[in-house]
Amino acid sequence: MSRKLVYFDITGYSEPIRYMLHYGGLKFDDVRYNMQEWPIKEIKDSLPYGQLPIYEEDGRVLNQSIAIARYVASQTGLLPTDPWEQAKLDAAVLNIYDLIKKLATFFYAQDPEEKEKLKKQVLEDVDYYYSRFEKELHAGGGYFGGKLSWADFILVNTTELLNLQLNQTVNTEYPAITALISEIYANPGVKEYLANKQSSAPVS
C-alpha cells in the first residue's frame, strides 16, 4: 500500500500523524513544502479545500488533520472500537485543538510588549486546560482512554508545540503528561524517527 502525507517542513498539525505512522511501522512518503515559499499556487489550487495537510493512500485523498489522525489511529491500534470510548477521545482531541487555537493570536503578534501580554494569557489557558488533561490522564491510568490512543499522541505533540512556541517547558508541573511524553518517545518507531529528524532535510 502506498501512503503519502503532504504538509509543511514544520511540526504543526501533522506531527502526531507522522508519529503514529512511525509508531505503527507504516511506511509513508513524508512530503514537506517549505513554509516560506507557501502558497505555491498550482499546489494550493490542486488541494480539495486549499489547505494542508493532505493524506493519500493508494491514490485516495483525505484532508483535515483531525480526520487524517483519526484514520491513521484506526490503522495502528490507537483507536478503540466502542462508540462511547471513541467519542470521549474525539472530545479530548477537540479540547486540545481548542487550546491550540488560543495560541494563534500570540504566534502572529509582532509587537514585543503585546506578545509578552499575550504569552501570559496563553500560559493561563495552558494551566486551565493542562490541569484538566492531567486529571483525565490520572482517571485513565495515564491515558485519556484507559490505554494508549491517538488522543495521547495529539497531547504529546501539542506539548512539543507549546514548549517550542512559548520557549519554556509547560508540562513540568504535570507528571502524568510528562510520563506520557516519555512513553511515546520510547516507542521504537518514534525513537527512530526522532533520531533521524535532525539529519533529514525538508523536501520543498
By the criterion CB under 8 A, which residues form the site for a copy of itself? 48-50, 57, 60, 62-64, 66-68, 70-71, 74-75, 83-84, 86-88, 90-91, 94-95, 98, 128-129, 132
Nearest-angstrom CA–CA distance, 149 and 153: 7
**Residues near 185 by Cβ (< 8 Å), separated by ≥ 6?**
191, 194
CB 196 → a copy of itself: shortest distance, Å?
Answer: 28
Given the complex with a copy of itself, which of 38 and 128 has the nearer CB atom?
Answer: 128
Given the complex with a copy of itself, which of 67 and 203 has the nearer CB atom?
Answer: 67
Beta strands in the chain (DSSP E): 3-8, 29-33, 54-57, 60-63
**Residues near 35 by Cβ (< 8 Å), separated by ≥ 6?**
8, 9, 10
CB 192 → a copy of itself: shortest distance, Å?
Answer: 26
10 Å CB burial of residue 125 (0-12, 13-18, 19+) is: middle
CB 199 → a copy of itself: shortest distance, Å?
Answer: 32
Amino acid at 109: A
Amino acid at 61: V
Given the complex with a copy of itself, which of 50 and 175 has the nearer CB atom?
Answer: 50
Given the complex with a copy of itself, which of 61 and 203 has the nearer CB atom?
Answer: 61
Given the complex with a copy of itself, which of 7 and 9 has the nearer CB atom?
Answer: 7
CB 7 → a copy of itself: shortest distance, Å?
Answer: 15
